[in-house]
Structure formats: structure tokens, C-alpha cells
Structure 1
Amino acid sequence: MLELRDLTVTYRIAAGEVPAVRGVSLALARGEALGIAGESGSGKSTLAMALLRLLPRDARVSGEILLDGEDVLTMPWGRLRAVRWASASIVFQGAHHALNPVHRIGDQIAEPLLVHGLASPAESRRKVAELLEQVGLPAWRGRSYSHELSGGQRQRVMIAMALACEPHLIVADEPTTALDVMIQAQVLELIRSLIARRGLSLIMISHDLSVLAATCERLAVMYAGRVVETGPSGAVFGDARHPYSRALADAFPLVGDPASRRAPRGLGGDPPDPMDLPSGCSFHPRCPAALPECSTAAVELWPTTDPRHTAACVLVHPETTPRLPHGGAAEDPGSGGAPPQQEPAPHAPGTPASTTVRPEVAP
């Protein structure tokens, strides 16, 4: 029901252009849940805002966003207004800032129903009461203001608003940010039950791979504006093939695991400046398994032994796929698991040193 084709988003600022999303291509089937993970600044929220053309005026967007076969980027304004909330809705990051503090919660939930002509004022009040009960809040909470609710209650209100017009697709941008672990578990369980009961499609964005793995069937990991790994949740979380995905998974120690407590793993350094991206693979300056060619070859997504599981790394090869052990280092070449190394491609003077390795050309 949703397909992104070579989606690119660039922000224009006084110092120049900032590439926030770079050539992302993804697909989402009806009734499927897709999780998008990555550090802050990886382009996740920009991608979410682009899906319904909610980006600021200084953003330049190219590519295609096909929602039920119709390109969101070329929709007339009237058609776009009809699609928002009714066909696809969004749960914004930070419910406290997304809700209007001077309007009652019930009025804000009813607004999309009234704007789209789906209910009369009397019918909208009944619908609001039903929606609040569906997300685990009493109907009388509709008379409250946002500051009178807890963080978890505000997040439930945002979910009720997203469900009001019965859309087919919900985009949840960090829906559990700043919630304690008990409330986070309740919100995630609510999302899972609503997807199962209503047959919704979901795009869920988070920096926490464990949250996404528990909620979504497939994961896509973003770094520096690009997708570096995608596949079934169990494969990406439990058997990551890109060193960055492995670092994200290892950053969350297991409760009761002495090894992770005594030797916590993480990833040193910071994501690159979008205006000064490294040549080749953008992750190579931080990568514990980087090879010489990583600084010159910008690798596209390669299929692993599972065709549904792909990774943009020279360590992944169509014929020989070495596994990344916990900690992110590649296997010793003597173990027989290392792929053949690629010599940097020569380049003519005046042309960029970085090349692109595509799946149809062996590295």
C-alpha cells in the first residue's frame, strides 16, 4: 500500500544544502508493520514527515511516495487534505507539544472527524468517547486539557486522534519517547492490539531496536540518511549483517546478563555532519570492521543468504556472507568466513574518488 522510490530530502539553509534523506526505497504491504531505527540525525523523522508532506518550506523533496498507487508528492492540495488523517495519519513525537494546550482533548480528537465530514457534532462526541475507551481512557477525559494528563495518557490521546478517521496507515514517530518502562510497555501493547484488531499498516520509528523488534515484522536501519540494513525483525535484531546495526543491538544490555553488565558495548564517536559526509560508506570512520575499500566504495543493499534480508556493506556478498559476532568485528580471515577484498577503483582526475558498488556487480 506504500512504496518509497529513491526518496531524497534536502534542507536549504544559509550555509548550503543539508542532505537529510538520501535515496531511500522501501515498500509496505497492507496490514504490515515496518520499524525504522537509527541514531538521532539519521533521517528517521524527516522520512516520517515527508510521507504526508509535513516538512517545512526549506525542504526539497524528490523521488516518489506512492500511497495506494498515488504519488503524495504530486497530489493537489485538496487531495492531500483528503488523504491526511483519512487514509494515513501520524502519531507525532512528543505528544505534549503536539496537543493544543488551550483546547480540550475531546475537541481535538473530534476535529479530523468534523473536517472530513465523517460525523456531525453529536456523532463526533459519541465517537470520541468510543476512541478514548479503545485506547484505555475513560470517556470523561475528553473534557480535560493536555496539561491535566500524564505522559502516557497524552500518548494514548495522540493514538486516538490518529485512529479517528479509520485510516489504513499509521506513522508513529517515537511514540514511547520519555515514557517510563511500564507505560512504554502498555503503549506498545496497545499499538500491537490495534494493528491486529483493525488490520492497520504501521510505520514505527525509534532508536530502540528492541522496541521495534517486539512490535514490527520488518526493520529498516538508517544511518546518515540512507538505509543500511533491512529485513525480518528477528534477523536484523538477532543476526545483524551491518556493523552499525550490530552496534545498535549491542547498545542495549540484557537485564540479568553478567557479560553485558561487565563489558557494556556501544559505539564511539558521533554521526557524520550531513554537510561533510565521508566518502564511500558513511559509517566507515566509526566502523570496527572497516576494510580499505570502505572509504571509496559506497555499497548498495546486498542480499544475504536470506533474500528478504539485505545490508549495505562490503562484508555481505551474494555467495559468501560472513556473520558479524557481537561487538561488531568481522570474523578472522583464517576462519574461512571473510569475503574477498576489493581494490579501490581507479578514478580519473577531477572525478569523485567514491564509487558505488551495486548488487549486480560483485565487490
Structure 2
Amino acid sequence: MTLLDVKDLHVTYGSGESAVPAVRGVSLQLAAGQKLGLAGESGCGKSTMALALLRLLPKNATMTGEILLDGEDVLTMRWGRLRAVRWAGASIVFQGAMHSLNAVHRIGDQITEPMLLHRTVTSQAAARKRAGELLEQVGLPASRLSAYPHELSGGQRQRVMIAMALACDPRLIVADEPTTALDVMIQAQILRLIEQLVAEKDISLLMISHDLAVLSDTCDRLAVMYAGRVVEEGPAREVFTGAQHPYSKALAAAFPTVGDLASRLAPRGLAGDPPDPARLPGGCTFHPRCEVALESCATDDQALRAFDDARRAACVHVGGGLAEAVPEQGAAHAEEAR
């Protein structure tokens, strides 16, 4: 059963000659209980996608297409219905917990607020009890309900954000770079916690990150975005270890192989930066940075095309011809990541 179905989503900031396209015709599906990763460099449209799913974008953003959540289009929902869907139907774990939590309110009050607002509990006492249970589920003692955000470490604040996301028993959680600001040990703990909770509660997860290794180890499927579009999609481990689009291959190859001194001293990166959304190049938007671009890539745009039953990529070389474009370091790193 499909829980989230995004169809031809376009998001543009501004209007007229100053309009900037941030998301350009993205279509994605997420089944109930499935985990989908969304990868790409900064500026590729990942966070705009996350905010668009619950219409959290600023007023200067224009959205077209469809975002079907349990069959209902988020883009056409009336305000009252949208307000009910947020938290209870789908919730978001934002990247910076300190910026998302209210510094002058105690943790307990912030966790109980959505429960009382959506009336998932019958009283303040019941909300308080449920908040304590949520904290314990994410590995914090219930006594921390009386703490202020500044009294918690970065990892503890991120656990609080996860507890808040679970407060109204949503069917979908969107995690936007939930571990970027954390050290690697705490990052691993938070990722395992998210995996455990998603499995236990049969929740669908959309996780956004620039780290393909994290997504391949956490998610069932993986979509790679570049310049506002999905350029490759498929089973997460297959995309990481055997990417077909040159951008996906470059992202995987950017991770040094643990134990391989040569790869640490000479890591394979990707020259340049993603294009300015206001001045996108013609043809395939990746062609100025692509090592295997053809002359036609400068003029011919590339749409996603299937090359087996479960995978798609937007490249003229799809299905072959890219094996030597970027060294295959993804597979070795994937094994180390496990």
C-alpha cells in the first residue's frame, strides 16, 4: 500500500523573472512501513522537498503537482485539515534540534503540546505520562521532562526531537539531516534508534542526508537528487555499491575506504558545485561536471528511465558504459559501514 505518492512536484521561489526553481518535476513513492533515503549535495532541493510535503515552505514558494498522503492531496487541503495532518499524519525531525526547540520552555511542555492540540490524550496528566514514556523510548529518563533545551547535550536534544515526532503516532516521519551536527558515536546511536522505532511502530520513514553510506545502511530504497531533480532511484544498497548515474557514482566514491591508505590520501571528490538554481545549464544539468558527458548532453535533457525492474536513472549511458567513469569504492565502504 502506498502511503506517500509525490507526482511531478515543482517548487519555485519568487515569481516572474526572479523565479528560482528549487524542485523540478520530482515523483516519488513511499509504501507503508518502507524507508526511503533522499541524497544529494547541499542546494540540490532535498530540504525543500521535506518542507513541501507538509506545506511548511515560506509564502514566496509556489508548488504544483500532487503530494498524496494516504490518498489526500496535501497541496489542496484546507487549513484545518492540514493542521490535523501535521504531527498526527506526518511529522518532521529537523536538522538543528537547538533551533527547533523553544529555548524558554521545558522539554515536557514541548512534547505534550502537540498531543493536547490534536487531542490524542484526554488530560494534561495523561499527556505528561505519555511524554515520559516517549523519552524513555528514545533512551532518556522521564525526569528530563523538566529540563530546558540548553541543559541537554546535542544528542539528547535530537532524541527529544524524535520523541516529539512520535508524540501523535504519525504514519510517516520525515528526518531532515537528523544526525549532521552530531559526532560519529552519537550519530550511530541515533540512527539505530530511528531504525528500531520505525520497525517497532511500522512507521514509514523519509530520511534526507548527503551521506550515501548512512542512507544505504538505514533505508530500503534510495533516491539521489541533483539540481532539483531525482537522477537515480533504486534499492539503497544497489545504488550505493553499483550506481549508474555518474553523479551517484561520484558521491559514493567520495567516501574513503577504511583501511585503504591510498584512498585516504587521494580521495575522489567531485569538482565544482551544484549549479545555481537561477542559472541552470541547458541539457543535462550535470554535464558541466560530468567526466563521461557526450556533446549531446549539453543540449539534450535526460529523464529518468528504467534499466531493470527496480531501478531508474537519468543518464544517456544508463545500463552500461559507465563502469570505468569513477572508481568503484562504494562497495568496500558499504561493508565497512555495516
Is the 2:98–2:157 contact (alpha carbons within 8 Å) kept by the matching residues of 1? yes
Paired position in structure 2 for 1:44: 46
**Runs of at least 5 residues in structure 1 that lack an aligned partner in the other structure:** 330-363
Paired position in structure 2 for 1:303: 306
Map 1:318-329; keep pairs closer than 5 Å. Answer: 321-325=320-324, 327=326
Paired position in structure 2 for 1:352: none
In the TM superposition, residue 255 of structure 1 has moved relative to its aligned partner by 1.7
What secondary structure sits across from 2:287 in the alignment?
coil
2:265 and 2:133 map into 1 onto residues whose CA distance is: 49
In the TM superposition, residue 105 of structure 1 has moved relative to its aligned partner by 0.5
2:227 and 2:64 map into 1 onto residues whose CA distance is: 17
What secondary structure sits across from 1:298 in the alignment?
coil
Considering Cα pairs closer than 8 Å and 6+ residues apart, tell me whether 1 or 2 has the greater RCO: 2
Is the 2:292–2:325 contact (alpha carbons within 8 Å) kept by the matching residues of 1? no
2:326 and 2:72 map into 1 onto residues whose CA distance is: 43
Q: Which has a greater percent of helix?
A: 2
Instruction: Specify the code of the residue in structure 2 equivalent to 1:140.
Output: S
Q: Deviations over 1:43-74 (max 9, x none)?
A: 00000000000000000000000001100000
In the TM superposition, residue 234 of structure 1 has moved relative to its aligned partner by 1.2
1:256 and 1:326 map into 2 onto residues whose CA distance is: 23
Instruction: Specify the code of the residue in structure 1 equivalent to 2:272.
Output: G
1:301 and 1:15 map into 2 onto residues whose CA distance is: 28
Paired position in structure 1 for 2:335: none
In the TM superposition, residue 324 of structure 1 has moved relative to its aligned partner by 2.8
In the TM superposition, residue 327 of structure 1 has moved relative to its aligned partner by 2.1
In the TM superposition, residue 260 of structure 1 has moved relative to its aligned partner by 1.1
1:101 and 1:252 map into 2 onto residues whose CA distance is: 36
1:142 and 1:288 map into 2 onto residues whose CA distance is: 53
Aligned pair count reads 325
Instruction: Specify the code of the residue in structure 2 equivalent to 1:222.
Output: M
In the TM superposition, residue 42 of structure 1 has moved relative to its aligned partner by 0.2
Map 1:81-230; keep pairs closer than 5 Å. Answer: 81-119=83-121, 120-230=123-233
Instruction: Specify the code of the residue in structure 2 equivalent to 1:96.
Output: M
Q: Deviations over 1:126-182 (max 9, x none)?
A: 000000000000101110111111110000000000000000000000000110000
1:196 and 1:300 map into 2 onto residues whose CA distance is: 34
In the TM superposition, residue 262 of structure 1 has moved relative to its aligned partner by 3.2
Distance verdict in 2 for CA 1:5–1:265, change over 3 Å: same
Scaled by the length of structure 1, what TM-score is found? 0.88
Instruction: Specify the code of the residue in structure 2 equivalent to 1:41.
Output: G
Q: Which has the larger radius of gyration?
A: 1
The reply to whether residue 240 of structure 1 matches residue 243 of structure 2 is: yes
Paired position in structure 1 for 2:14: 12
Choose the corresponding residue for 2:297, options 294, 298, 313. Answer: 294
**Runs of at least 5 residues in structure 2 that lack an aligned partner in the other structure:** 329-338
What secondary structure sits across from 2:14 in the alignment?
strand
What secondary structure sits across from 1:249 in the alignment?
helix
Is the 1:18–1:275 contact (alpha carbons within 8 Å) kept by the matching residues of 2? yes
Paired position in structure 2 for 1:314: 316
2:280 and 2:321 map into 1 onto residues whose CA distance is: 27
Choose the corresponding residue for 2:274, options 259, 271, 279. Answer: 271
Structure 1 residue ranges (4+ consecutive) displaced by more than 3 angstroms after TM superposition: none
2:306 and 2:69 map into 1 onto residues whose CA distance is: 26
1:152 and 1:49 map into 2 onto residues whose CA distance is: 23
2:177 and 2:323 map into 1 onto residues whose CA distance is: 28
Instruction: Specify the code of the residue in structure 2 equivalent to 1:112.
Output: P
In the TM superposition, residue 13 of structure 1 has moved relative to its aligned partner by 6.5
